[in-house]
Amino acid sequence: MNGKRPWPDRDVFAKGIFTALPEYEWKAAREIVTPTVVGKKRLLFREGEAARNVFIVGAGLVKTYKNPSGDRVQIVNILGPGDVAGAEALTHSFYASSAAALARSLVLKSERGAFLDFIRRNPTLLVALIEMLNLENAALQTQLARVGTKKALPRVASCLLLFMEKQVEPGQSRPFNLPISRQEMGAFLGLSPETVSRQLKDLTTSRVIRLEHRRLTVLNLGHLKSIAQV
């Protein structure tokens, strides 16, 4: 990891599991985390490493992934502000996947023992963590079903909605970045990079989105959701 260590303020705790905490408790939570600015592509942890820390995304984007063949990366999930990476450290000895920053990100690292002690003292945080992990598991199951049953265009549309959810506040329509390459999107969705490019071109031509390099604006959110079968 690299960069300065900014002291996390209320905005950092406004999403994800910490939203369940009243102010005096989230201020206490600052004592168990080490905030670090992580550069793009920097590794948080590697699959198979001893799981000693839990990581909460404060700002930016993080991907979790596996290397099933040693050279090909299979993205498992895209995490945004408030999401937890490395939660398996709470119950297992090793990380089940790797995690790396997709963009310059603020990450809050908490040592496993300190985090466990904190959630034991704050049952509301434990419930919020369980709910988050259940939602992530449901999202992954939906992703598996999408790959198995949906055609290419709905898969790509669903992926764009996921990226938008992680980077844009509800009700806003500002541009956001495509955080992964077309090749990575293809691996994530079970499609070839060429197929991903064709679907993005179709969505652009039909004015559902505007895509300039890797900067994307959703022009017709309702239509995009309809295509994604949301």
Mean pLDDT, range 69-87, rounded to an integer = 83
Same domain, 73 and 185: no
Q: Per-residue pLDDT for 134 more than 90? A: no
CATH of residue 118 = 2.60.120.10
> Is residue 108 located within the same domain as residue 170?
no
Does residue 104 form part of some domain? Answer: yes
Residues in the chain: 230
* Encoded tokens for 160: 């764009």
Residue 2 lies in a domain: no
Question: What share of the chain has pLDDT > 70, as a percent?
Answer: 87
Per the structure, the count of domains in the chain is 2
Amino acid 111: pLDDT: 95
Give the C-alpha separation, 99 to 107, whole Å: 12
Asked if the structure places residue 144 within a domain, the reply is no
210 lies in the same domain as 101: no
Which pLDDT belongs to residue 1? Answer: 47
Asked whether residue 167 falls in the same domain as residue 130, the answer is no
pTM recorded for the entire structure? 0.81
Task: Report the percentage of the chain scoring pLDDT > 90.
Answer: 47
Residue 182 lies in a domain: yes
Of 136, 163, 188, which marks where a domain is finished? 136
Q: Choose one of 136, 159, 181: the last residue of a domain.
A: 136
The predicted-structure confidence for 153-162, as pLDDT tens digits, reads as follows: 999 999 999 9
Q: Are 80 and 2 in contact (CB under 8 A)?
A: no
Domain that holds residue 79: 10-136
Residue 103 lies in a domain: yes
- Residue 177, CB half-sphere, CA atoms under 13 Å: how many? 10
Among candidate residues 103, 136, 169, the one where a domain is terminated: 136
CA dihedral 13, 14, 15, 16 (to 10 degrees): 50
CA dist 148 and 173 (Å) reads 30
Phi-psi region of 171 (alpha: psi -120 to 50; beta: other; left: phi over 0): left
- Write the DSSP symbol of residue 229: T
pLDDT over 90 (residue 188)? no
> Does the residue 1 lie in any domain?
no
With respect to residue 100, please indicate whether it lies within any of the assigned structural domains: yes
The first and second tokens of residue 189, run together, are: 């969705």
User: Token pair of 35, please?
Assistant: 């905030």
Q: Judge if 17 and 118 occupy the same domain.
A: yes
Return the CATH number at 218.
1.10.10.10
User: Does residue 110 share a domain with residue 202?
Assistant: no
